Amino acid sequence: MMKPVFSGSFTQQAKIPDAAIAAALEVLRHGRLHRYNTVAAEPGETALLEQEFAHWQGARYCLACASGGQAMQIALRAAGVKSGDPVLTNGFTLAPVPGAIAAVGGATVLVEVTADLVIDLADLEQKARNVSARYLLLSHMRGHLVDMKRLSDIAKRLNLTVIEDCAHTMGASWAGTKSGNFGHAGCFSTQTYKHMNSGEGGLLTSNDPDFMARATILSGSYMLYGRHGAGPDSEYFEGPRLNMPNMSARMDNLRAAILRPQLRELDHSIESWNERYDIIAKHLKECSAVALPKRPDDGKFVGSSIQFRIPDIHPDTANALLAGLAQRGVEVKWFGGATPIGFTSSHDSWRYLQRQSLPVTDNVLASLFDMRLPLAFSLKDCALIADILVDEISAVTRAAA
């Protein structure tokens, strides 16, 4: 009997809304793509996006950037990171996070993560003291939120400036507070596989006017900072306007036009992602070989991807699982491979960093699998994918027993 096969694409995102296409066409027709190329009192699409995202996020200020990575670089520099300063971050994250630290000359100090894929708060506190760190670039990797109250207490006690990488948590929250609002700043991505899609793009939020004035100059505002939709008053720019370098990291009006209608639909999109996540998680919970990261009650997450571990899995078994799933049309990534494939790089492949020992994180990654959940998938698709996952996991773990 032929086993069922999934025929969809794991890289096909949801269609761009008609309203976004119409807005993009309007920008293309008038040709004023640069964010400051506006006429009369017209604010421009980028300034409007900043205003609308700040309101949605519940932040005073928002700066639209060319990418999420640029948002992190600008945030670190605007927060005061200097060459050689130690910057703490999760041992399990994606390469743009340590890349942002390296780009501003910081020294990345990696912190262990738990089996639930969040930063280990005990290791964080110890390493912060050991290296006298003043900065934490906290990665909410794959949408998993650590106990943000405990983290905030630690940061306050140790005088840590926290910058949140919210690339995977746009719309997530802890105890009713949105991710990105706990630290000094929140950094968001609008790259194709994130929660809003402009191909590339980033958003930086904060409630600190001095910080945001520095960030705005760094982004490449020239002396046009008054044209921002959610920026500080002009008085805050007197100090930084001639003292911050121009990093040319602006978002353009075309991408902003594509994003504004998506922002209006974002809450609905989050509900749709979580429906898909719940279907697959329910099936995986019934598979005895699988361990799912715990989702605390205080955390509201966005299920745009799902992670699971198969504790103590042998590399040969992991590769057999990947091959079996691929034959049935299911694309799963494994973080335990000897070499990075696509986005699955781990800390030992970031050779521009000083080599660091992370035995707990290494053990977690050796057993960790990751799968995207595009909104292009129907609920029926997700049920089929879940059946294939459980079938193939059960087969390889039985064979390895």
Q: What DSSP letter does each residue of 154-206 carry, written as one string? A: HHHHHTPEEEEE-TT-TT-EETTEETTSSSSEEEEE-STTSSS-SSS-EEEEE
In this prediction, residues 29-39 reach a mean pLDDT of: 95
Reply yes or no on whether the pLDDT at 1 is more than 80.
no
**Helix-helix angle 253-285:45-57, to 10 degrees:** 40
Which candidate, 132, 133, 111, places its Cα nearest to that of 120? Answer: 111
Confidence at residue 223, expressed as pLDDT on a 0 to 100 scale: 93
Q: What percent of the chain has pLDDT over 90?
A: 95
Confidence at residue 88, expressed as pLDDT on a 0 to 100 scale: 98
- The model's pLDDT over 39-71, given as tens digits with 9 standing for 90+, comes to 888 999 999 999 999 999 999 999 999 999 999
In this prediction, residues 374-383 reach a mean pLDDT of: 97
Domains of the chain: 18-261 (3.40.640.10), 266-400 (3.90.1150.10)
Q: Give residue 340's pLDDT band: very low, low, confident or very high (50, 70, 90).
A: confident
Q: Give residue 206's pLDDT band: very low, low, confident or very high (50, 70, 90).
A: very high
pTM: 0.96
Average pLDDT, the chain: 96
Give the integer Cα–Cα distance in Å for 115 and 290: 12
